[in-house]
Chain A
Amino acid sequence: MSPRKTLPILALLIVLALTALIWFYPPNGDFITSNPFWNGLSTFTTDSKVTPIRSFDNLPSPSKETVLIVTPYTQFTETELDNLSQYVSRGGALIVLDDYGYGNQILNRLGLDMRFTGKPLLDPLFDYKNKWLPRITDFTQTPIANNMTSIVLNHASTISNVSDNAVIAWSSRFSFLDVNGDSTWETGEPMGPLPVAAYAKVGEGYVIAVSDPSFLINGMINMDDNLDFIKKLTQLQSSSPTIFLDQSHLPKTSLDDAKQTIATIYNSASSPLGTLSLITVILALALTPVWRKSGKNEQTSTERTEREP
């Protein structure tokens, strides 16, 4: 077979193989519910029967006995903030897991004073392996954190402007807020105990703020009481709530984008019009040699006719 024919076929095969690889390779983005790697939420999703959502448009109403977990790594639109506000005021429990994201947008819209500080919480003594993985052992004796022993956070932050009786968990007194980012405590930097989880009642519902979303990832969820902690947080209003997990405000990887693009193309091709167009194109391409041949035959016969007297 001549290179003129083999090269396009080879290129097509490579493109198809790469498309298949991208499509079937599991997503590796942070906090993605279908991500089975260390930074995904597949364990938590399966264990707690979580329903991932990609829009706040269809949040349940009334929202009692439901919990919405949000990891705000991208900004919220005004409509989204309105939806969240309505969800909470109608009785839903909103758990905002944030360290360096846009959680304060939500807290601000809900009229709460507490804020995520957005600075790293380091604990050089009570930790797992290193000070970036602080271990939390101080829980207030409330039903929310009853019988909790310890949880481990991962590159967490803290919460400020919160009253002591609203705090659910504190960091150790050896922890500090690394305001200037030099990884060591300097004079003037806040020292522990610092709040890492707090809650507030808003309307008929509740807002729970936890200054680290990473304690839920697959690599962390089975450490200490991490899984138990999130379960207790979700059971603030109901023993068996329906749990929704927002997936629309997460950092995206190139793989996610590629998957999305392929999905869009596939969905377009799957529609009746798309399928028809696809079939037409394939048929046209497949039958091109036949048309060419018949054209040539006609041309040849015409030429012969012209030559013969």
Chain B
Amino acid sequence: MRSLAVVFLITILFAATISSILVVAEPVYTPHEDPATAESAMDAYSFFTYYSDIFTLISSKMYANATLLVEHLKFVYISADLTYIIQRYNNLTLELTQTLDNLESLLSKASALLSQYRLDEASQTLSEAGIIVGRAEILMKDLTDATQTLSSSFGVLAAPAGSKLKQAYDTLQNLLQRLRQLINDYLERLNSIKNEKTTIENKNLNPTEITLSLNTTEAFVGEPIEATGTLTTNGTSLPNRTITFLFDNSPIAATTTGSDGSYNTTATIPYRYVHNMTATALYTPSDTDVGVYLACISPPVYVETMFNETRLETTTPSEAYPGLPITVKANVTSEDTTPLDQRGVSVFLDNNLLANVETDPQGYVNVDTILSPETPTGSHTMTVAVDPQGIYAGVSQTKALNVVKNPSELTVQVPSFVILPTKVGIEGNASSTFGPLQDATITLTLANNVTTVKTSKNGEFNATIDLPSNLILSAGFQGLKITVEPAEPWNAPTQREMNIFVVNPANIALASVAFVCVGTVIYTTKSKSTKRKEGETLRVVSLPPRIVLPKITPFPTQTKLEGTKGRIVAAYVKALQIVQRATSISFAPQMTLREFLQAAKPKLNGVADSFADLTFMAERTLYSLYMPTQTDVAKAEGLTMNIQGKPKLEPA
């Protein structure tokens, strides 16, 4: 019993230990951590160092590079508590960079205009630059404040002097100072250009005036247009001066004034398919005119530009398959349906170029192109665009294209039932409306056993699923799952589920054994129960109507009682025999001493108390650790003598 308990305890201990070890077990050396629970820590030193690089680029006027670096900060992980301040800091830096870049452009432009003695335009540009400088100063102040806030958040102020963080912060502060200096430099440059402008104005250079007239104010794009005018200064014509002819501020022609200061030039209207353009004539002093005359620009002349619209009719498929060709038809004509030959036509799928062709003499194109096999199924847009050509503007049409896959079909022949262990042979054929599925991957899964095969040229396959002996798999219908993964991207995968009746002898045998076990348990239990009942019946039947004292003795261990205990019990037994005979009450096997006493007491005239005392003494002797004394023995034998001495109690 003890050994069993020890084994049981060891089993429990082992099971508890091993289960906890196994379930919670993690690899001894894990070369990764769970990103969901990873501790977030932003490195302030690296952040300040990175910003030092950005500010260095800004102070070197490399604004485009600085902007790229700021935009790259989106890949930096920012903890939630710092998100706002860092995003604000990034935005401020980006805004300052763009502002300074804009300022640089404006000042350069103003300087260039001034060099051409275009004082009015320069004044306007300088005015814009002045506003931008003011804005840059405000941004610089905000950036300085934000740097302080950010430094506090990063704990820079608490960092020990000479630490890497403190050094990075000091570097950043130095670079901020350089940025302030840069803005001051721009301000000085602005003032310098303004002074230069004032100097030119103070020179009282001769003003010039230029006129412009066009031979027409309506023309097709690409058509020549004739511009004429006169360049004068204080009413005197200026001969042999270069005049630039501009359309929407872009120079398209240049000419020289004649001896009377007039000029005449023919230029082609740019192929820009807008309905209005502005023409101007510009004179800028050069060579000996520099320092003598001011530049001038003519009043604008508005030209209504014309062009022909292009008509496009397209025929595109509403559905297409990945990896399969599609045909796009287009007819390109003028508004009066005249076919347009050699017009460039481009076909786009979701803004990605698929094909580029030219129309035939009848204005038709027939584009055969193949959709990429990776094109995802679903709604897409297909755009057909006709390039502008000559007086014909471009045109485009966009239509919806639904990319789908062709449904596959599967026919399978499987056995209706199998007996384990076995190899289940499965034949079948995979096809689609396009024909047999060649080289398709067929995956068959039956009772957790997986087999993969490829289809033949005619789409047929022949697979064998190995079903080994299995203790767990219960007999009955098992699901067979067959999936088809076509090799062609235009065919859709498909799957089919069937049932096979599986007979598993191992499982059946185990079940039978289980029944046998249960039967055995029931049999043994019943057998014991029957035996007990039989025993009880026998005892009842074997009891004689008149008690034979030696057979009903309630003390099978009587002989073992020796000494004082034995003598007291012997005295009781003697008294008991006398009482049984006198009262005709049997001491039944199920009776206790007290029960017998209770039953016999009413018939014991005068010796009831003696027999009661003797019963208690016998009870005490038999069922307690008490060791009777010689006095007790004498008392017990005395009580027995008393009972024996009563004539009524003597046996008849």
Contacts and interface: CB of A to CB of B under 8 A. Distances in A.
A293 interface: yes
Given A124-B43, A131-B43, A214-B32, A275 B11 contact: no
Contacts of A130: 38-41, 77
- The listed residue with most B CB atoms (<10 A of its CB), out of A10, A28, A49, is A28
A53 interface: no
Contacts of A99: 31
Interface string A103-129: 000000000000000000000111111
Nearest to B45: A124
A253 interface: yes
B35 A174 contact: no
A236 interface: no
B46 to A, nearest CB: 4
Nearest to B372: A239
B166 to A, nearest CB: 16
Nearest to B523: A290
Contacts of A251: 27-29
A286 B47 contact: no
Contacts of B72: 137
A125 B50 contact: yes
A227 B513 CA distance: 52
A127 B36 CA distance: 14
Interface in B8-50: 8, 11-12, 15, 18-19, 21-23, 25-36, 38-41, 43, 45-47, 49-50
Contact of A253 (B27, B516, B524): B27
A282 B374 CA distance: 58
B150 to A, nearest CB: 15
Contacts of B28: 251
B458 interface: no
Contacts of B487: 240
Given A251-B29, A253-B25, A239 B374 contact: yes
Given A129-B39, A137-B75, A253-B26, A287 B516 contact: yes
Contact of A239 (B39, B77, B373): B373
Interface stretch (A13-21, A161-169, A200-208, A301-309): A13-21
Contact of A275 (B38, B39, B373, B506): B506
Nearest to A270: B469
B520 A289 contact: yes
Contacts of B374: 239
B33 A154 contact: yes
B527 interface: yes
A289 B374 CA distance: 70
Nearest to B512: A279
B524 A293 contact: yes
Given A133-B38, A279-B509, A14 B15 contact: yes
Contacts of A269: 471
Contact of A293 (B43, B452, B468, B527): B527
Interface string B66-87: 0000001001110000000000
A8 interface: yes
A92 to B, nearest CB: 17
A213 B27 CA distance: 15
Nearest to B19: A18
Contacts of B344: none
Given A239-B374, A271-B469, A254 B25 contact: yes
Contact of A30 (B23, B30, B45): B30
A272 B470 CA distance: 9
B161 interface: no
Interface residues of A, number: 69
- Chief secondary structure at chain A's binding surface: mixed
A39 B32 contact: yes
B1 interface: yes
B442 to A, nearest CB: 13
B554 interface: no
Given A7-B5, A214-B32, A283-B513, A255 B25 contact: yes
Contact of B517 (A133, A217, A275, A286): A286
A54 to B, nearest CB: 14
Contacts of A100: 29, 31
In this complex, the interface size class of chain B, counting residues with CB under 8 Å from chain A, is 35 or more
A240 B374 CA distance: 9
A74 B533 CA distance: 69
A275 B524 contact: no
B471 to A, nearest CB: 5
Contacts of B548: none
A293 to B, nearest CB: 7
Contact of A10 (B8, B19, B39): B8
A25 B41 CA distance: 34
B32 A30 contact: yes
Interface string B235-273: 000000000000000000000000000000000000000
B489 interface: yes
Interface in A1-36: 3-4, 7-8, 10-11, 14-15, 18, 21-22, 25, 28-30
Nearest to B50: A125
A220 interface: yes
Interface in B466-508: 468-471, 485, 487, 489, 506
Contacts of A44: none
A14 B513 contact: no
- The listed residue with most A CB atoms (<10 A of its CB), out of B27, B39, B72, is B27
Contacts of B4: 3-4, 7-8
B324 interface: no
B485 to A, nearest CB: 8
Contact of B25 (A28, A154, A283): A28
Nearest to A285: B517
B36 A11 contact: no
A91 B293 CA distance: 77
Interface string A273-291: 0110011001100110110
B7 interface: yes
Interface string B524-562: 100100000000000000000000000000000000000
A25 B19 CA distance: 11
Contacts of A25: 23
B421 interface: yes
Nearest to B519: A286
B112 interface: no
Contacts of B26: 28, 253
A270 B8 CA distance: 29
A64 interface: no
Contacts of A286: 513, 516-517, 520-521
Interface in B70-119: 72, 75-77
A100 B487 CA distance: 38
Nearest to A65: B487
Interface string A129-165: 1111101010000000000001010110000000000
- The listed residue with most B CB atoms (<10 A of its CB), out of A99, A133, A254, A282, is A254
B138 interface: no
A109 to B, nearest CB: 22
Nearest to A37: B34
B34 A258 contact: no
Given A21-B19, A270-B506, A289-B520, A129 B38 contact: yes
A103 to B, nearest CB: 12
26 contacts: A3-B5, A14-B12, A18-B15, A18-B18, A21-B19, A28-B25, A125-B49, A125-B76, A126-B75, A127-B77, A130-B40, A130-B77, A131-B41, A132-B38, A135-B76, A137-B75, A155-B32, A219-B35, A254-B25, A255-B23, A270-B469, A278-B471, A279-B513, A282-B510, A282-B517, A286-B521
Give the top 3 A-B pairs by smallest Cβ distance, nearest first.
A124-B43, A214-B32, A125-B46
